[in-house]
Structure 1
């Protein structure tokens, strides 16, 4: 029995070592990139923003009856507020949430 537990523990450790690392989403990069979207900033997003904008729109809340736009906007706002510069740029955060917070997908 002890040998079986040791084999199982070794297999688990090996599996965890080979598992892909989760990348932390960068709230500040997302805030900067979303601020460049039309209606908020100059309407020009730099080439390195695709992933950051996707991170924003991949935040979606679903309930028993489907997509929850209000809860999605709240969760997206919380994510943007993880950036230390969000409080200084509160007006920009509010604009981003007002325009894009409830949308299920990126309209552009």
Structure 2
């Protein structure tokens, strides 16, 4: 291996600490920012609850955007949870509107 200054070092093994970053562009436009993963120096993520809800009403994130160390199956599970939460939120909003419309009538 050759270091940046040009010094060559013979190695049998090289261990690195990979860093991952949430590759999402839309949250910053909405006021969300990727932040370092708390307590770990592994990369950045978009803070969200277990179902992917962010601090902005109606905005969810899933997969590696919320948990950068997740593998494909875990990222998929994050997406499924977010989808279920989004559906529940839409059903609740539709129910609230129906109740309000009935109360007005």
Is the structural similarity TM-score above 0.5?
A: no
Higher RCO (CA 8 Å, separation ≥ 6 residues): 1
More helix by percentage: 1
Q: TM-score, normalised by structure 2?
A: 0.24
In our comparison, the structure showing a higher alpha carbon Rg is 2
Q: TM-score, normalised by structure 1?
A: 0.24
